[in-house]
């Protein structure tokens, strides 16, 4: 089996995934970004529970709303990227019709 643009018969799985994703981050990188935002969200929730000032509460609530949107966007992107990565792996490991004969 030959893959165009790859010198070996079987291309490096990680390299193919990088080629397919291009400049986009990998699912594990998105997961780390999401985890960092989730930690920040928890800190702001903690601050919010201790804040008495209404203006500060409003600012923290706005920050929380923005973080929730960002976390959801990263979760969606992570799922899509994970699907693409799994699809590439499945395609690379799927036997060709020539192999089955």
Instruction: Determine, yes or no, domain membership for 88.
Output: no
Residue 11 in any domain: the answer is no
Q: How many structural domains does the chain have?
A: 1
Residue 2 has a pLDDT of: 46
Nearest CA-CA partner of 40 in 59, 58, 67, 65: 67
Burial track 18-49 (b if 16+ CB lie within 10 A, e otherwise): eeeeeeeebbeebbebbeebeeebeebeeeee
- Whether 1 shows a pLDDT value over 50: the answer reads no
| 42 domain-assigned | yes
Nearest of 19, 24, 38 to residue 91 by alpha carbon: 19
**Which structural domain, as residue segments, surrounds residue 73?**
25-79
Q: What is the pLDDT of residues 17-35, one digit of tens each?
A: 888 899 999 999 999 999 9
Q: Is residue 51 part of a domain?
A: yes
Domain assignment present for residue 32? The answer is yes
pLDDT in tens, 42-58: 999 999 999 999 999 99
Distance of CA 25 to the CA centre of its chain: 7
Mean pLDDT calculated for residue range 46-73:
96
Q: Is residue 64 part of a domain?
A: yes
């Amino acid at each position: 089996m030959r893959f165009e643009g790859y010198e070996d018969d079987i291309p490096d799985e990680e390299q193919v995934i990088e080629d397919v994703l291009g400049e986009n981050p990998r699912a594990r990188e998105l997961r780390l970004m999401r985890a960092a935002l989730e930690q920040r969200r928890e800190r702001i929730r903690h601050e919010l529970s201790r804040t008495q000032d209404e203006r500060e509460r409003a600012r923290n609530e706005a920050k929380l709303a923005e973080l929730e949107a960002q976390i959801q966007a990263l979760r969606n992107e992570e799922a899509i990227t994970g699907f693409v990565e799994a699809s590439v792996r499945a395609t690379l490991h799927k036997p060709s019709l020539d192999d089955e004969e």
